[in-house]
Structure 1
Amino acid sequence: MISTTRLQSLLARERDAFAARNPRSGAAYAAADHLFGRVPMTWMNKTAGAHPLYLDRARGAHVWDLDGHEYVDLCLGDTGAMAGHSPAPTVAAVQRRYAELGGATAMLPTEDAAWVGAELARRFGLPYWSFSLTATDANRWAIRLVRAITGRPKILVNSYCYHGSVDESLIVVGSDGEAASREGNVGAPCDVTLTSRVAEYNDLERLERELAHGDVAAVLMEPALTNIGIVLPEPGYLEGVRELTRRHGTLLINDETHTFSAGPGGATAAWGLEPDVLTIGKALAGGIPCGAYGLSEQLAAEIARHTELDLVDMGGVGGTLAGNPISVAAMRATLEEVLTDEAFEGMTALATRFADGVRGIVEQHGLPWSIQQLGARAEYRFASPAPRNGGESAAAHQPELDDYLHVYLANRGILLTPFHAMALMSPATTAADVDRHHEVFAAAVGELVA
């Protein structure tokens, strides 16, 4: 329904406009000679324009770039700023801890940490918690623990899952149906099929076949796929995963880093899930680096029985800055005063408004697209029906169309997550912000199908 020639022409026009309206960002990028890839992290080069936009300042659900343009920020740091940019309670807690009390890193616990552990237990249902600086590290440490107590070497993940840079997760179901290293995997320490097994999301038959080998310590999964595009569970799927893991003596790790958007206790609480381990990061501390993993009562007791494990010194389940006073002060303030149960109600309502508005525009033009919502997060997909697993989701990707919408929206003051057309709501996001997106999105689609 969409002319390739017209799409390419519109994309070229929008990229030219992007370059013209952002000279200071362009100059900053050109001058960054001593940064690898010219950016602090190479993934910042994932941009629909010729260069990234450079941040000047941010507040609430809006950001401003070096060229003075203001944006409605629906990316929100790809979840890291789900509380909004610099929420006042978090800012105050960090300032008090760092400026007034001091002790950014003293290798001593604070009372804030115990409060955060209790709050995470209330929200997610797992009673014991430990901290990291990233969700990637939380996943790595959880993997070490489950391997240690099960004596099994392999981790099973879903094809095209996202668990940070965890080596074991970079495996997919290949075109021949066999396990394969994910394309582009950088510096793998060994063939990923030696450490991992893989099943497509929503495929219980394949999951059971892989678990039957008896060598899987844990299934590490997002309750819903996110970073390949939102893929939601089919009825009975998650219950089936839990039943199969228990039957085969395999532990279950829920990575809620992105699916935290499902509610104040993530998908685990919203959908009544019962993982043995839960990992999370990014959003908990209002943008301050943090991560955490929680353990079930039974698993914690089992770990305690393994007295041969060195969990204090060189056991590989900690880091010097993990659980530092600033991180846990930020987590306490964010959870206690910003990402509250009530805040999630408003965020989810706005995501529904976003999804309904996009759906109406898509249906108006008869496009074969779909939209998926996960609590406070929603995403439009260039496929209908929506993909049901990671492989289908990867196959549905249309890079030029994705880039066109991203740069068109950016040129008119709307930022989406750069990796896909995903929008996240924060407590600071307003109905006017959502409606502004719809106004620009409708114009972008209208030009595309004219």
Structure 2
Amino acid sequence: MAISLDIRDEATRAQLAAVQAGRIDDRSSLIGLTRARLGEALRDAGVPDRQIRMRVQQLWHWLYVRGVDDFAAMSNVSKDLKATLAERFTIAGPEIVEEQISADGTRKWLLRFPPRGAGKPVEIETVYIPEEGRGTLCVSSQVGCTLTCTFCHTGTQTLVRNLTAGEIVAQVMLARQRLGDFPDADTPAGAIVPSEGRKVSNIVMMGMGEPLYNYEHVRDAMQVFTDGDGLSLSKRRVTLSTSGVVPKIGPIGEETGAMLAISLHAVTDELRDVLVPINKKYPIADLLAACRAYPGLSNARRITFEYVMLKGVNDSLADAKELVRLLKGIPAKINLIPFNKWPGSDYECSDWEQIEKFADFINANGYASPIRTPRGQDILAACGQLKSESERMKKTERLAYEAMMIVGHGE
């Protein structure tokens, strides 16, 4: 039985009250800044050059090893500096509008980030999937999406905006806080916190949005994920999934060293143009050429090809044969994803027997072809089901909020 904790009404009322009172927080966030940019922010705040390196290291430790969200908790930072930081910056995380826990242990958070400038709050979804010996966090990179993949629920939500690096990193920090991955408050400040045994051991950039259409912020966030003195995730445990933004595939590999996943889903341009419309711009041949040139590609660093199984659409043995032919020479594994139904979709999941035949053929031809076990279907947390609730707010709520925004900005 799924569990749902809905705090939308309370959070909405609090947000509206804050706007009405003119309490828009215009402080910039330190979360998600690279070390260099964090140093620049401290310099702009008046920290002497000779202290920058030390202060960056202190803050990095408190943010990403200890997971604090209040400058006051930074016990080895001077009182005056903490006051300066609190006046100019914030390290607060997003609001949890709703937390749902699936019968299989999968968790989905609907998160609200505060307004940027004169904009509105935005909402995104983040999913945690516990598995034997690991825990995977599915992180969003955009509010909505531009790609309109016809089998994907997120694709029915228009793009609102890109997430900042801070908003991407904040999803990981919130998950670690909720799951108890950060040390207790009474752990000594200099203690070394082991990275093994944490619940969030893997990150996949497979949530809402196309990561490579938000390149700079995603790149910076991934560099924070893998910094050895912070969140300290192995580059082999961070995977970026793209629908095929070909010009950015090589650069993201060079700059982050992340594992690569490709949302393929079809073996002909004719079908992929329908399922994944970006294929009209970057067809299969160009996409696979970029995959063959991916930095660090080897049998130890294989590319994952994601293939959603759609009944009578892309699941024939002829499709399986063509898939093997297309991927020849690419170190790869092929994740077969049973289609997860969502409201309004016309597609159906392939029969299980057909999925197994498809997998058996691919396995027999030398490619690992696991069938992804659907997780979190009862809370719409499975692959292709994510969609923020921001679109579904009652019209009266939206109009009230917009009126409050005008009052708050004195317009």
One fold, TM greater than 0.5? no
Q: TM-score, normalised by structure 2?
A: 0.27
Structure number with the bigger relative contact order (C-alpha 8 A, sep ≥ 6) is: 1
**Larger fraction in helix:** 1
